A and B are shown apart, each in its own frame.
Chain A
Amino acid sequence: MIAVSPYDIAASIGVAWARVLERERHPTSPHPTVYASAWRPCTRRMVLELTHCDQLPPHSANTLAKFRRGDDRERDLLIDLTRIGREAEPAFGVFGQQQRFALKDRKGRVAISGKVDARLKFDGAEPPIEVKAWSPTLVDRIETFDDLFESPWTRSGAHQLLAYLYGSGEPFGFLLLDRSGLPLLLPVELDPHLDRMEDFLTRAQVALDHREAGTLPDFLVGDAAECQRCPFYGGHCNPPIAHAGTQVLTDPELEELLQRREAVREAGQEYDRLDKEVKARLRGIESGVAGAFAIQGKWGKQSRLELPEALRKQHTVVDPRGRFTLEITKVA
């Protein structure tokens, strides 16, 4: 019998797994239309993806495994959704899976193309549904469709579904997000996002024009982070980059405030902790004496708004700049 370490077995399985996935890798080739999932903030990148996508490095085994997982989850979730549709009120069916989609530009060319994951069939409506199995850290931050525009990793997915709605003239659709526990089904309306969709279509048209002319649009300006995320950066595209730089505040009063704040920081923390503990112990005592301290308490009215969850959600407004978190550290 050959003595084999379990660590060696695990390592060899890992290697074989990667090899199997890499064998299934199919090369990308230049294509004449912008994919619905390929909305980019940089039109130059959209053109390069049409013309030079075959020159990008092949996907790693790890990325291929993520794609595979995404496909598997999409299939499973659509099977589940078909079953759920029979029991839902109103009932619905799932049909038209992987149906081809094409959106023409003003010149009559197919500018954006893709495949719709599926459609839900209700009485009088057939909204498209797009299934995404993104990283749990991304999905955890999503509550509404608008949240998708906050992260550079989810914006293209949001535009993808908008393109399907725009192309098929549907006023609404759904985005189904896989996550641990129940999946998140987000309703999506086209009307509030029409301007985004029109911008996508216009830029797809510009990309096609450049592709036909064999030219490239100007570099993206003012978004160095986006440039450095781009797979063409340094390879086929060498844009100038400009980082904003930190803000210098030269107000001596502010400096003094910060110094004083730092000086009393520990004392302040100690006070907060003690105050919390003391008040927790004394809650409900309306009159008392402890050593040298006299204690006076008073009950007061407190208004609370208790709303059903659905109503609360309906009236909740999310302000993307409503909260501001500061971290002030004395470093020098």
Chain B
Amino acid sequence: MREVDDALARAYAQRAGSGLPQGVPPAPHLRARTLHSAPEPDVNSEHSVELQWPALVLSLERDWGARFERMAQLLLAARQKQGLKVILFTSCHRAEGRTTLVLTLARALSRQPIRTLVLDADLTGPMVARLLGLRPQLGLEDVIEHGTAIVDALVDSPDDHLTLLPMQTAVARPREFLASPAWTCTLARLRRDFDLILVDGGPLFSGLSAALLHRSVDAAVLVRHRGMTGDRAVLRAREVLEAGGIPLLGSAETFV
């Protein structure tokens, strides 16, 4: 799956480098655009908002900002050395601090000279928009399911030097969602436009139902609440990720 994304990203890059018109999308669901010839991310200026960061995120950044800076440096180093661009943040269960960690880390990465995107891909319980006080008119599900242009769904925060692709509601059919070619094309396009993409994915084990795995990512970080997730669950999560072909960068211990 990653090879397909890379091929699409290379095709985008070649198209941009050859000076071909940018208005021809590779997929019919993407609207033609005649905006930028430079590799700047396509973000509609009308969607620039001021994010309302949660108090918990600000508190974590203030008290433990050095740790997040260190992790941001680790991700940047992994990106430069190994070419990891799309990082999945997942956990064994819900409420392990995954979204809060992603948002705090995004704030640390926003101070770096890279284009960072926070992609809310928790298909069963999106929380990014709600935590940031956003009520987006369009979301990732509109892009994938209804063919809305990515430009219209991206939310840019110039003050924070950060871009979001939120989700409005949970997806009714997550399997079809991730299996659709629109998802592949969308992720390939985001790979081209952004330097680092933090994917806030859903939990690996959602009760008795079959969990879904984002296979279009380069690596994963397992967020773990020590009081909630035991060693056996972590071991199982490692096996799941390994079986899915997703290298595990490490774990992020929360609520320590």
A pairs with B: no
Interface residues of A (CB under 8 A from B): none
Residues of B with Cβ closer than 8 Å to A? none
